[in-house]
Amino acid sequence: MTTPTRVLVLNSGSSSVKYQLLDMRDDSRLAQGLVERIGEGTSRLVHTPLQGGGGRKREKNGPIADHAAALKAVAEELAADGLGLDSPELAAIGHRVVHGGLRFTQPTVIDEEVLAEIERLVPVAPLHNPANLTGIRTAMALRPDLPQVAVFDTAFHTTMPESAARYAIDVETADAHRIRRYGFHGTSHAYVSRETARLLGKEPEEVNVIVLHLGNGASASAVRGGRCVDTSMGLTPLEGLVMGTRSGDIDPAVTFHLKRVAGMSEDEIDVLLNKRSGLVGLCGDNDMREIRRRIDEGDERAALAFDIYVHRLKKYIGAYYAVLGRVDAVAFTAGVGENAAPVREAAIAGLEELGLAVDADLNAVRSDEARIISPVYARVAVAVVPTDEELEIARQSYALVLDEASSNE
């Protein structure tokens, strides 16, 4: 029998499922899609066939009751393209799991014990892990014979030293409640730091990289020789950089103040800091395109929001430069990092003494390819490296399945 080479990647949110089917022989994408508003009357499935030059995007609107129904609908779309989930060519299903705690440092084949451990982590990831679990259980019911692999957002950061991972609070209290800095977006930081090394023509072990993952959620990481030594998100994805709707770093006393003086409840403060802060809280918009458009029209609130965003970013670049001691590259990625040239320019401006500079012409180029945007004379490379979390999940899942198969022979 030939070795199966396809991997289905599932990213299950509370009311959505994103998916991609990849062929690991050449990392090509066979299909991708999204089911959103699951459980609402107005659910929507968008499916795009991609094999052999691609096909027309298909959209279906109508109620999809739950994740099981969503996955069934996805399976039907894939089957219509001759890519059914019953295919013997499917090697594994790779699942994005947001929180793996300290236990999961590597991609892991899912069994009942692993499911129980992901469940045990729900208190530290109440929004994400339950949705991830639902997606996994649904996929397991659909193909119980197939390896299902969990790839954890936190795994890449488990190499952080205790000095970076611990908060300076009472140790017994912290340990009793598993309070520490876990970090997120790890799959992206892992992929981008490795791709940056490749772009420099080096091995990951040879380079120190600061990765700036700037999407709607945003995080920075300091990666020394392929291993993460610090990252900006913490116990939850709220800490660190200014994000689309999240505050990032804030004096924790602000929360007591809001409770005691403003009379807000914990839930209201949670919503304020996670949904009504960041760029949206500062200027009403969280899309960097819109913010730039407003700045061009002279809008002062948008300009201040941009300045606060960039100021925080610059502080993290400086901090991680100091953490690493020697930096070979600063890599920008995700929606803002890959597309917003003014953010890259402003974040690096004034850092010439650190060997950092951006070439205006290179920075203005639009491309889907990883590229260097610093001038040739700069000591440190500044790079734009498009992230690809699905490919990374597929690669890690496939490598694990091949590994297990060969050790069982």
Nearer to ligand AMP, 139 or 214 (CB): 214
In whole angstroms, give the CA distance from residue 109 to residue 103. Answer: 14
Nearer to ligand AMP, 80 or 304 (CB): 304
- The answer to whether 289 contacts ligand AMP (rule: CB under 6 A) is yes
In whole angstroms, give the CA distance from residue 327 to residue 159. Answer: 18
- Of the ranges 118-126, 138-146, 154-162, 284-292, which one interacts with ligand AMP (CB under 6 A)? 284-292
- The answer to whether 335 contacts ligand AMP (rule: CB under 6 A) is yes
- Of the ranges 108-116, 179-187, 224-232, 333-341, which one interacts with ligand AMP (CB under 6 A)? 333-341
| Residue in 94, 147, 240, 244 binding ligand AMP, rule: CB under 6 A | 244
Kindly tell me the sign of the dihedral angle through the C-alpha atoms of 80, 86, 87, 90.
Answer: positive
Shortest distance in whole angstroms from residue 8 CB to ligand AMP: 21
- The answer to whether 226 contacts ligand AMP (rule: CB under 6 A) is no
Nearer to ligand AMP, 150 or 288 (CB): 288
In whole angstroms, give the CA distance from residue 136 to residue 193. Answer: 28
- Of the ranges 136-144, 160-168, 336-344, 389-397, which one interacts with ligand AMP (CB under 6 A)? 336-344
- The answer to whether 340 contacts ligand AMP (rule: CB under 6 A) is yes
In whole angstroms, give the CA distance from residue 323 to residue 317. Answer: 10
| Residue in 84, 215, 284, 355 binding ligand AMP, rule: CB under 6 A | 215
Sheet strands side by side (includes 329-333): 227-231, 218-224, 208-214, 329-333, 381-384, 371-372
| Residue in 339, 354, 359, 362 binding ligand AMP, rule: CB under 6 A | 339
- The answer to whether 334 contacts ligand AMP (rule: CB under 6 A) is yes
Please spell the DSSP secondary structure of 245-268, one letter per residue: S---S--THHHHHHHHTS---HHH
- The answer to whether 400 contacts ligand AMP (rule: CB under 6 A) is no
Which residues are CB-neighbours of 30 under 8 A, at least 6 positions away?
6, 21, 22, 23, 49, 50, 51, 81, 83
Biggest alpha carbon distance in the chain? 69
Nearer to ligand AMP, 30 or 334 (CB): 334
- Of the ranges 174-182, 315-323, 330-338, 391-399, which one interacts with ligand AMP (CB under 6 A)? 330-338
- The answer to whether 288 contacts ligand AMP (rule: CB under 6 A) is yes
Can 368 be counted among the known catalytic residues?
no
Shortest distance in whole angstroms from residue 124 CB to ligand AMP: 22
Catalytic residue of the set 26, 27, 86, 153: 153
Shortest distance in whole angstroms from residue 237 CB to ligand AMP: 12
Q: Residue 385 in contact with residue 333, Cβ under 8 Å? A: yes
Structure tokens belonging to residue 227: 């291993």
- The answer to whether 313 contacts ligand AMP (rule: CB under 6 A) is no
Shortest distance in whole angstroms from residue 293 CB to ligand AMP: 10
Other Cβ atoms less than 10 A from the Cβ of 62: the count is 10
In whole angstroms, give the CA distance from residue 169 to residue 158. Answer: 20
Partner residues linked to 96 by β-bridges: 151
Phi, psi of 348 (to 5 degrees): -95, -15
Q: Residue 136 in contact with residue 151, Cβ under 8 Å? A: no
Nearer to ligand AMP, 224 or 344 (CB): 344
- The answer to whether 286 contacts ligand AMP (rule: CB under 6 A) is yes
Other Cβ atoms less than 10 A from the Cβ of 269: the count is 17
- The answer to whether 274 contacts ligand AMP (rule: CB under 6 A) is no
Catalytic residue annotation = 153
Q: Return residues touching ligand AMP (CB under 6 A).
A: 215-216, 244, 286-289, 334-336, 339-340
